[in-house]
Amino acid sequence: MGFLYADIYVILCRNFCDFTNGVSPGVNIFPECNKNHELNDSTKDELIKSVPLQSIGTPDDIAQAVLFLVNAPYITGQIIAVDGGRSLTLKGG
């Protein structure tokens, strides 16, 4: 993820650096609408336990972060992790 993030940041910064912010969602939605990718209960429980807030985020959580950035004109060049703190507990995070 670090390599991809760096590439995207360089590309965006060359063109839009004064206005670029991003939201990095974590475990937010389980793929239950697609039976081929549905997670079993054990896997869901493992994912939930890996999140410090012990819950799964919602699309509304992501929308709130986007609205915050839209309404904060002095914030630029930032990526906000909307992941319940999970990125803080991952190796290399």
92: pLDDT strictly greater than 70: no
pTM of the model as a whole: 0.65
- pLDDT digits 0-9 by tens, 9-48: 555 555 555 568 888 888 776 666 656 667 788 888 888 8
The predicted pLDDT at position 43 comes to 82
Average pLDDT of the residues of the chain: 76
Decide: helix, strand or coil at residue 24: strand
3: pLDDT strictly greater than 50: no
Q: Which residues lie below 8 Å from residue 76, measured CB to CB, with a gap of 6+?
A: 17, 18, 19, 20, 21
Contact between residue 75 and residue 22 where contact means Cβ atoms under 8 Å apart:
no
Contact between residue 13 and residue 20 where contact means Cβ atoms under 8 Å apart:
yes
Decide: helix, strand or coil at residue 45: helix
* Minimum mean pLDDT range among 7-11, 48-52, 71-75: 7-11
Contact between residue 89 and residue 50 where contact means Cβ atoms under 8 Å apart:
yes
Closest listed residue to residue 62, CA positions, set 16, 12, 24, 20: 24
